[in-house]
Structure 1
Amino acid sequence: MDNNYNSDPGNNYNGQNNNGEQSGYSDAQSGYSNAQNGYNNPYNAPDFYSNVNNNQFINDTNKGKATASMVLGICSLIAWCLPILGIPCSIVGLTLGLKSKDSSNRGMAIAGIVMSSIGLGLSLINSIAGVILRLR
């Protein structure tokens, strides 16, 4: 073979083709070694997946839950006057906030947890006060 490409799988991968001639590409010139890739890579192909952080993709699925938790926390602070709206809104906001604590929007999740907890407390106090006042 008289080409400069190391395309023969039976090659010894040291930069020579089958005729013993030096090809245009060698291991030293390619910049990629088998030791750098961490596995046997006979063609010295670059490993595009070695630098991917898998945790960032797992945590990004909870971004919407953190946002929804914060929005429901704000709504629960407004809706505590009507316990029939405030209690469910607070419980859902608190649940979503607790599920999304480990997301990349951790601050929004914690804000949703705090506001939903305050809204739940105010809603419960309002509903208990309404029952006590009604029984008198």
Structure 2
Amino acid sequence: MTGTMNAVEITEAGGPDVLKPVTRPVPEPRHGEVVIKVAWAGVNRPDALQRAGMYAPPPTASDLPGLEASGEVVTVGAGVSDLKAGDKVCALLPGGGYAEYVATPAAHCLPVPEGMGLKEAACLPETF
């Protein structure tokens, strides 16, 4: 894993054209968090509202859109004992899902249900 990743950020309030590709540092997990290599990100109403300038993420959340995603745990922070690198998960995120990697509380991660792909699992935490 390199130190940077591709992501999509909101450059200003507006339509889909305000979403722009950027390079950002790969997040580091804080205590109780994991970093997920994102396979799929859900797209939902709060993301559209954030893009339109009608929803501000909480001060401690990522400024990147994306409240749910699925993928593989790649890094585990201190205090996390129920997940490990390689686990396939879907997760409710504090923003940041529109990126190659995202940090989220381990408690917000769910195992991908047996027989379900990562694509379908990406919409479980928020949309479903």
TM-score, with structure 2 as normaliser: 0.18
**Relative CO higher for 1 or 2, CA cutoff 8 Å, sep ≥ 6?**
2
Structure showing the higher strand proportion among its residues: 2
Question: Whose Rg is larger?
Answer: 1
